Amino acid sequence: MIEILHTYYSLAARLATGEAPGAFVVDIVERLDLKELESCYGGGGKQPYHPALLLALLFYGYATGVFSSSKLEQVTHDSVAFRFITGEPIRIMTPSPPSASVS
């Protein structure tokens, strides 16, 4: 538990410095020993999300003021930083070239 609290405060400090959001959260979670948490995941049902992904979402959500599960779900669709954490493709909208008008 101490390790998780230390990680959370480290995350909040790095967020306050303006470091690129999302990437440092993944970096911190990758350093944690999650073997005990991973051992709780059993088979059956739908494929579960990896514990590291869920923990990274919680850390980043709490550090940025997103606390409810429904808001976390929403920002995974809307926020580039949250999409980075989940590994979802980031869509960049580029304007279509103007079509040539035929006279």
Residue range 74-92, pLDDT digits in tens: 998 888 888 888 887 656 5
Reported confidence tier of residue 23, pLDDT bands at 50, 70, 90: confident
What helix, strand, coil percent values describe the chain, rounded to 5? 55, 0, 45
Convert 43-74 to b/e letters by CB count within 10 Å (16 or more is b): eeeeeeeebbebbbbbbbbebbebeeeeebee
Whether pTM exceeds 0.85: no
Coil vs helix vs strand at 14: helix
Q: Which of 35-39, 42-46, 96-100 has the highest mean pLDDT?
A: 35-39
Task: Reply yes or no on whether the pLDDT at 49 is more than 70.
Answer: yes
Taking CA atoms, 11 is separated from 2, 31, 45, 101, in Å, by 14, 12, 33, 53
Task: Reply yes or no on whether the pLDDT at 66 is more than 90.
Answer: yes
Residue 29: both structure tokens together: 């979670």
